[in-house]
C-alpha cells in the first residue's frame, strides 16, 4: 500500500524565493517591452504596406491609360500608313500618265514638223507653190 500512496502523492511545489520572483518579473517586463515593440513595428509595416498598395494601384491605373494610348496610336498609325500607301499609288499613276503624255506630245510635235522644211538664204518669188 505504501507504493500506491507514493505514486498518488504529489510533490509539493517548491517555494519561490524573492530573487527568483524578481528575475521572473524582469523577464516578463522584457517580454512585454519586446511585444509592444513588435506590435509597433507591425503597425508601421502595415501602414507602409498600405502605402505601397496605393502606389501599386496608381501604377496599374497609369499603365492601363498608357496601354490604351498605345493602342489608339497603333490604330492611327495603321490608318496613316494605309493613306500613305494610297497616296503612293496615286503618285505612281500620275507619274505614268505624265510620262505617257510627254511621249505623246513629243510624237505629235515630231509628226507636225515632218512636212515642214525651212530653207534659209533662198529668195522667194510671188505666187510660188
Query: Binning pLDDT at 50, 70 and 90, where does residue 120 land?
Result: confident
Does residue 36 lie within any of the structural domains?
A: yes
Does residue 75 lie within any of the structural domains?
A: yes
The pTM (predicted TM-score) of the whole model is 0.46
Does residue 12 lie within any of the structural domains?
A: no
Q: How far is CA 86 from CA 44, 78, 90, 97, 107, in A?
A: 63, 12, 6, 17, 32
pLDDT digits (tens, 9 = 90+) for 82-117: 999 999 999 999 999 999 999 999 999 888 887 777
Is the pLDDT at 49 greater than 90, yes or no? yes
d(CA 78, CA 84): 10
Does residue 121 lie within any of the structural domains?
A: no
Is the pLDDT at 18 greater than 80, yes or no? no
Does residue 118 lie within any of the structural domains?
A: no
Q: What is the count of structural domains for the chain? A: 1
Q: What angle do CA 27, 29, 30 make, to 5 degrees?
A: 65
Least confident of 5-9, 17-21, 89-93, 104-108: 5-9
Does residue 67 lie within any of the structural domains?
A: yes
* Structural domain harbouring 106: 27-113
Does residue 123 lie within any of the structural domains?
A: no
Does residue 22 lie within any of the structural domains?
A: no
Amino acid at each position: 500500500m505504501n507504493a500506491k500512496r507514493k505514486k498518488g502523492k504529489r510533490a509539493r511545489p517548491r517555494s519561490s524565493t524573492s530573487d527568483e520572483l524578481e528575475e521572473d518579473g524582469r523577464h516578463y517586463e522584457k517580454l512585454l517591452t519586446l511585444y509592444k515593440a513588435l506590435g509597433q513595428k507591425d503597425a508601421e509595416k502595415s501602414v507602409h504596406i498600405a502605402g505601397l498598395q496605393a502606389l501599386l494601384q496608381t501604377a496599374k491605373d497609369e499603365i492601363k491609360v498608357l496601354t490604351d494610348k498605345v493602342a489608339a496610336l497603333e490604330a492611327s498609325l495603321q490608318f496613316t500608313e494605309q493613306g500613305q500607301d494610297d497616296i503612293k499609288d496615286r503618285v505612281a499613276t500620275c507619274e505614268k500618265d505624265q510620262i505617257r503624255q510627254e511621249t505623246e506630245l513629243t510624237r505629235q510635235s515630231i509628226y507636225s514638223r515632218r512636212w515642214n522644211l525651212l530653207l534659209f538664204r533662198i529668195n522667194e518669188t510671188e505666187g510660188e507653190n
